[in-house]
Amino acid sequence: MSADDINNFRQIITSNGYRLTRAREATFRLLVSSEPQSVAKILAKAKGTVDRVSVYRNLELFEKLGIVHRVYIGWKHKIELSDDFVKHHHHLSCLGCGKIIDIEDESHIDEFIEHVAARADFAPRRHIFEVDGYCHDCKPTKTTR
């Protein structure tokens, strides 16, 4: 987590009229991860630092302020920092083992979205593009169902 990220976080909290508390900043620091994390995992990391109720409350606030977003795998979800903090990317989510593979936009997904939006004279602000399916390890048995 860079100093810029921390400053950006503080700026978002305070400019929306919220107090910058120790628990909020500690919760934010737990969100740094190479992959989206389940709430259970975030709670485990928070143990001894931020209490359970505060973690839930802070995540709810962070979602409202666009600091984090949910990545859905079927009905379940994981939490990930928003594009304000990590480079914009998309996901391939495995319905078998819950693994989430990040994909940067090699296939011009973003260009396509810009294109269709422009054609509709629409100013896009945000998009989520998720692919659910089965990873290499889960594929052979699961796809035959």
Q: How far is the CB of 96 from Zn ion (least distance, A)?
A: 4
Helix %, strand %, coil % for the chain, to 5?
A: 40, 20, 40
The residue (of 36 and 50) whose beta carbon lies closer to Zn ion is: 36
Interface residues toward Zn ion, by CB under 5 A: 94, 96-97, 99, 110, 135, 138
The residue (of 60 and 83) whose beta carbon lies closer to Zn ion is: 83
| Rounded-to-integer distance, Cα 84 and Cα 37, Å | 17
| Residue 71: strand pairing partners | 78
Q: How far is the CB of 26 from Zn ion (least distance, A)?
A: 30
The token pair that represents 40 in the structure block? 């259970």
Q: How far is the CB of 22 from Zn ion (least distance, A)?
A: 34
| Residue 101: strand pairing partners | 92
The residue (of 97 and 118) whose beta carbon lies closer to Zn ion is: 97
